């Protein structure tokens, strides 16, 4: 038997019969690559089966995005309320900020984690007060540089704002307008000084 129900045998590339995990198809929806399938495991939880290796894994192991986690939901609702954005836009920002989405900024150096209000709220409050931003302007920074929600406030964001004030002699409203035009600067941590280090998403050369 070659199926996702019960223990069966499947003829693999090697020509040998391989054991199939005891799983039952729950949704039957394949990925675009057609290589994985979401199934119900014996313990009642959902899992991912790789159809090439017939190996089942949990959503966390497979990198599933925990948008239904209670903690994630509370942060999403806070962003929706404070920034007046949609839940979809809030999720997009959180995925980028906490390494569940694009890795252009993080370059796979950050582990995926579930966001918390305790981690995100101080950043929003600082940006709002220090740059004198309204909700729409704060939302524009989050949409332009979603990773700002996951970058260290004390080690990165505040020092970067102070650097702009000092080196470019900026104060509001010029300071605010400059950061609104280039919100990525809140995450810069490299200055190649013209000798490109290949870390353009994090480099002050772009400011």
Instruction: Give the whole-angstrom CA distance, residue 25 versus residue 31.
Output: 14
Give the pLDDT of residue 38: 52
Average pLDDT of the chain is 80
Q: Is the pLDDT of residue 82 over 80?
A: yes
The average pLDDT across 25-46 equals 46
- Note if the pTM is more than 0.85: no
Q: Which of 129, 116, 193 is nearest to 161 (CA)?
A: 129
Q: Rounded mean pLDDT of 181-195? A: 93
Distance CA 138, CA 84 (A): 10
Please report the pLDDT score of residue 47 as a whole number: 52
Confidence of residue 188 (pLDDT cuts 50, 70, 90): very high
134-157 pLDDT tens trace: 999 999 999 999 999 999 999 999
Give the percent of the chain with pLDDT over 70.
Answer: 70
Q: What is the pLDDT of residue 18?
A: 46
CB 115 within 8 A of CB 150: yes
Separation CA 99–CA 114 (nearest Å): 9
pLDDT digits (tens, 9 = 90+) for 36-46: 455 555 555 55
For residue 55, give the 3-state DSSP assignment: strand
Q: Is the pLDDT of residue 11 over 50?
A: no
Residue 2 has pLDDT above 50, yes or no: no
- The first and second tokens of residue 94, run together, are 């959180």
The pLDDT assigned to 193 comes to: 83
């Amino acid at each position: 038997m070659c199926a996702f129900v019960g223990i069966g045998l499947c003829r693999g590339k090697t020509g040998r019969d391989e054991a199939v995990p005891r799983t039952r198809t729950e949704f039957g929806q394949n990925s675009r690559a057609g290589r994985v399938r979401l199934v119900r495991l014996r313990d009642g939880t959902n899992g991912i089966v790789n159809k090439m290796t017939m190996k089942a894994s949990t959503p966390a192991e497979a990198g599933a995005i925990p948008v239904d986690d209670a903690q994630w939901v509370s942060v999403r609702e806070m962003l929706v309320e404070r920034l007046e954005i949609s839940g979809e836009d809030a999720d997009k920002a959180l995925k980028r900020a906490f390494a569940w989405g694009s890795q252009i900024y993080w370059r796979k150096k950050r582990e995926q984690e579930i966001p918390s209000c305790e981690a995100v709220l101080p950043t929003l409050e600082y940006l709002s007060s220090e740059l004198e931003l309204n909700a729409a302007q704060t939302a524009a920074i989050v949409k332009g540089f979603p990773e700002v929600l996951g970058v260290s406030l004390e080690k990165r964001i505040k020092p970067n704002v102070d650097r702009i004030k000092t080196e470019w002699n900026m104060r509001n409203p010029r300071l605010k307008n400059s950061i609104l035009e280039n919100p990525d600067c809140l995450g810069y941590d490299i200055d190649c000084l013209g000798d490109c280090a290949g870390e353009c998403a994090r480099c002050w050369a772009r400011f």
